[in-house]
Amino acid sequence: MRTPYKAVLFDLDGTLLDTAPEFVVVVNQLRAEHQRPPMEAAIIRSCVSHGARALVTLALGYRESEDSFEPARQRLLDLYSEVLGEHTQPFAGITDLLHWLLNQGLDWGISTNKPSYLTLPLVQKMHFNPEPKTVVCPDHVSNTKPDPEPLWLNCKHLNCEPHQAIYIGDHLRDIQAGNSAGMHTIAAAYGYLDADDDPYQWFADDIAANSTDLKNLIEALL
pLDDT digits (tens, 9 = 90+) for 146-167: 999 999 999 999 999 999 999 9
Q: What is the three-class DSSP state of 110?
A: strand
Q: Based on C-alpha coordinates, what's the Rg of the chain?
A: 17
Distance separating the N- and C-terminal Cα atoms of the chain: 9
| The predicted structure's pLDDT at residue 1 | 41
Question: CB 79: neighbour CB atoms within 10 A?
Answer: 18
CB 150 within 8 A of CB 157: no
CB 111 within 8 A of CB 10: yes
Can you tell me the distance from the alpha carbon of 18 to that of 89, in angstroms, rounded to the nearest whole number? 6
| The predicted structure's pLDDT at residue 39 | 96
CB-count exposure of residue 161 (10 Å: 0-12, 13-18, 19+): middle
| The predicted structure's pLDDT at residue 207 | 98
Q: Say if strands 89-90 and 17-18 run parallel, antiparallel, or are unpaired.
A: antiparallel
**Which of 11, 18, 107, 197 does the annotation list as catalytic?**
11
**Which of 13, 170, 174, 197 does the annotation list as catalytic?**
13
Alpha-carbon 35 to chain mean position: 31
| The predicted structure's pLDDT at residue 63 | 93
DSSP conformation class of 8: E
Can you tell me the distance from the alpha carbon of 184 to that of 186, in angstroms, rounded to the nearest whole number? 7
For the chain, give the mean pLDDT.
Answer: 95
Instruction: Give me the count of residues in the chain.
Output: 222
Give the chain's residues under pLDDT 70: 1-3
* Separation in Å, CA 200 to CA 170, 175, 197, 204: 12, 11, 9, 7
Angle at 77 between CA 74 and CA 80, to 5 degrees: 155
Concerning whether 13 is annotated as a catalytic residue, the answer is: yes
Handedness of CA 72, 73, 76, 77 (dihedral sign): negative
Concerning whether 11 is annotated as a catalytic residue, the answer is: yes
Say if residue 121 is preceded by a cis peptide, omega within 30 of 0. no
